[in-house]
Each structure stands twice: as C-alpha cells, then as structure tokens.
Amino acid sequence: MSILDRDLNIIAFPGAPNLPVFAAQTLGFFAEADIGVRFETTPSSVYQFEQFGSGGFDIAFTAFDNVVAYREGQGAAQLIGRPDFRAILGATQVELSIIVAPDIDSAEDLRGRSLALDAVGTGFAFVLYDMLARLGLPRDAYDVAPVGATPERWQSVKAGKHAGTITIEPFTSIARAAGFSVLARSTDMLPAYQGGVIAVRRDWAAAHDETVSAFIPAYLRGLAWVTDPANRQAAAAILAERMPEIRPEVLDAVMDSLLSPRSGLTPHGEILREGASVVLDLRSRFGSGAEPLADVDKYLDLRWLDRARPATQLGLA
C-alpha cells in the first residue's frame, strides 16, 4: 500500500450486481491500483445511510432513488445535517420482480395482504406501488412493512409472514426455484430504470480525489471483464463462490439477468438518463415531497468517470 490513503470502505446491498467488485478483488484489479477494499453488505437502506452519512463507509452501492431521497430530505433515516450524496457511476438497471406466495394468482389476490419492503418510502418501494397500480391494485388496497434488504424480505415471504415482496437477482431465481411466483417484472412495465448506482459524499470524494480516481478504473476493469462473453463461466464461478446461496440450477438464470441489456449491469458505468428520469418521476408521484423532481444532474458528480473514459476506451484501464 502506498502513502496515499487508498483504503476504501464500501457498503452495498446483497445481490448479483456486486459481481464486478468480486471480480476486481479476485483478479487483483484493486490491488494493482494500490487500493485496499473492505466490502460489507447492509441489512437495510436505513442502516446503510446511517453508516454512510456518518462517515462509517466511504462508498455506497445503493439505489439511485436512495441518493435522491436523502438529498431531498425524504430518507427513512434521520441524518445529522443533509450530506451531499452524489452518484459517481451507474451500477445496474436492475430487474425488479414482485415475488408472491404460491396462493397468489393475481394482483387482486394481494388485496388486504401485507407486502415486505426495505423501507416504505425509499428504494424500490415506488416501483412496486407503480407496478401494482398498473395491474389494477391501488396503494390503499394492501399493507406494507419495512423488513430490510432483499435476503430479509425474501425470507419473510418464504416463512409466510408476508404475501409478497420485490426482489433482485439472485433472489428472484431462488424464489422461483422454491415454488414462488413472479407476479410482474419492472422490465415489462418501465421503459428504463436506473436501479443501482455507486455513490459518495461529495465532500469526502473531493478530499480523496486520488483514491476515487484510482477506484473507478479498477471497478470498470472488473465490469468489463464480467461483461465479456468469453469470461461468463469464470465470472459465474466467482459469483457462486461469493454468494453460496445461489443454487447451481439457478446460476445461469442469474447470469442471464445480470448480463441482459434490459435488466443488467450498466454498460461502462454510465448513468442511463432515461432510467434516472423514471426514478425521479416515481418519487415525484409516490414520495413525500411537494415539488416534482426533474433535474437528474442535481444528484450526479461524473468528473471521475469523465477522467476515466479516455483510458477505458483505449483499453488502458
């Protein structure tokens, strides 16, 4: 490790979209960039942003909507001040699926039932509300409960505590293999959706410019390696090792979703502006703010990605 302060503490939601980090760790891309990475998963968005906002973690792999919510003072956690969170990279479009108990055949069957969410007013809750409304079930027809991140939500549905939840891979495929049904998928209903991003506190990132400048090309190397068709089998092996809950029979389905241009990793770490605009539209309709949100750039700081682009385009990073 050099004299530069390049130890990074990263907090992320559990899920297959973390594969570029796993690959960069396994293949030594972070080590070659002289970066030490401590990677931890979060049990909920509230815990993530309490820790992230207080400086317990430097970088968060989170929902773009969470960045928006906490910038607007609408987050579920009460933070000291209002940290200037910014997305510095796109991570994944995310295919969000409504997973329901075996006795549920339609949205109407959820009337009066309870659904598990991470938090009821942040993250992917608004996608669930929108999809159910499109299926004819209004928001006041069912109950919601804050349970936590996808593994906790899935376990609560599996145990019969809730009739359904919203999931990402690998948990969608795990639930289907266990006999649960997919009621709806976001990729069938939304034109685009910037689900996951990589975020920083702007003051921390500005003070650690060299660290962020080293991290992004190393992450992009991991992303490029994972999305190269020639590496699919090896990438799947890394994912299976890091997420042993993925059963062998669903691994291919998880990889298909992760590498899909509609539901998977965001190419080249870009922010998909159409998908980001969908996030703002959903928060404007279902969130607690009085003013509609429309300015995607308010929540971004792409200076480090802009610097990294020439090197990555030339294959040097």
Query: Do 211 and 265 have their domain in common?
Result: yes
Query: Do 207 and 301 have their domain in common?
Result: yes
Q: Which of 167, 188, 209 is at the close of a domain?
A: 188
* CA-based radius of gyration for the chain: 19
Q: Which of 163, 188, 213 is at the close of a domain?
A: 188
Pairing of strands 196-201, 85-92: antiparallel
Angle at 39 between CA 36 and CA 42, to 5 degrees: 155
pLDDT at 81: 81
Query: Do 136 and 222 have their domain in common?
Result: no
Query: Do 271 and 298 have their domain in common?
Result: yes
Query: Do 161 and 57 have their domain in common?
Result: no
Closest CA to 13 of 133, 168, 154, 155: 168
pLDDT at 311: 58
Q: Which of 14-23, 107-116, 282-291, 294-303 is the least confident region?
A: 282-291
d(CA 129, CA 138): 8
d(CA 136, CA 197): 30
Q: 101-131: per-residue pLDDT in tens?
A: 999 999 999 999 999 999 898 778 999 999 9
Identify the domain containing residue 238 by its residue range: 7-94+193-313
Whether 126 is in a domain gets the answer: yes
pLDDT at 310: 65
| CATH code, domain carrying 128 | 3.40.190.10
Average pLDDT score over the chain: 93
Query: Do 216 and 107 have their domain in common?
Result: no
d(CA 28, CA 24): 6
- Within 8 A by CB and 6+ apart from 56, the residues are 9, 11
Phi then psi dihedrals of residue 170, to 5 deg: -90, 0
pLDDT at 76: 87
Whether 51 is in a domain gets the answer: yes
- Single-letter residue type at 23: A
Query: Do 210 and 280 have their domain in common?
Result: yes
d(CA 89, CA 61): 10
Q: How many CB atoms lie within 10 A of CB 185?
A: 17
Query: Quick check: helix, strand or coil at residue 12?
Result: strand
Structure tokens at 177: 């293999």
Query: Do 197 and 297 have their domain in common?
Result: yes
Q: Which of 130, 156, 188 is at the close of a domain?
A: 188
Whether 31 is in a domain gets the answer: yes
Whether 250 is in a domain gets the answer: yes
Domain count, the chain: 2
Whether 243 is in a domain gets the answer: yes
Q: 256-277: per-residue pLDDT in tens?
A: 999 998 889 999 999 999 999 9
pTM of the predicted protein model: 0.90
Query: Do 277 and 209 have their domain in common?
Result: yes
- 1 has a pLDDT exceeding 70: no
* DSSP element (H, E) containing 200: strand 196-201
Whether 265 is in a domain gets the answer: yes
Query: Do 204 and 308 have their domain in common?
Result: yes
Whether 1 is in a domain gets the answer: no
Query: Do 107 and 89 have their domain in common?
Result: no
> For the chain, where are the alpha helices, taking DSSP H only?
19-26, 29-32, 45-53, 64-71, 125-134, 150-158, 171-177, 202-207, 209-227, 232-242, 248-259, 273-286, 303-313
User: Which residues are 99's β-sheet partners?
Assistant: 165, 182
Whether 36 is in a domain gets the answer: yes
Work out the average pLDDT over 5-14. 90
* DSSP element (H, E) containing 7: strand 7-12
Q: 39-95: per-residue pLDDT in tens?
A: 999 999 999 999 999 999 999 999 999 999 999 989 888 898 889 999 999 999 889
Query: Do 198 and 63 have their domain in common?
Result: yes
Q: 172-217: per-residue pLDDT in tens?
A: 999 999 999 999 999 999 999 999 999 999 999 999 999 999 999 9
pLDDT bracket for residue 316 (50, 70, 90): very low
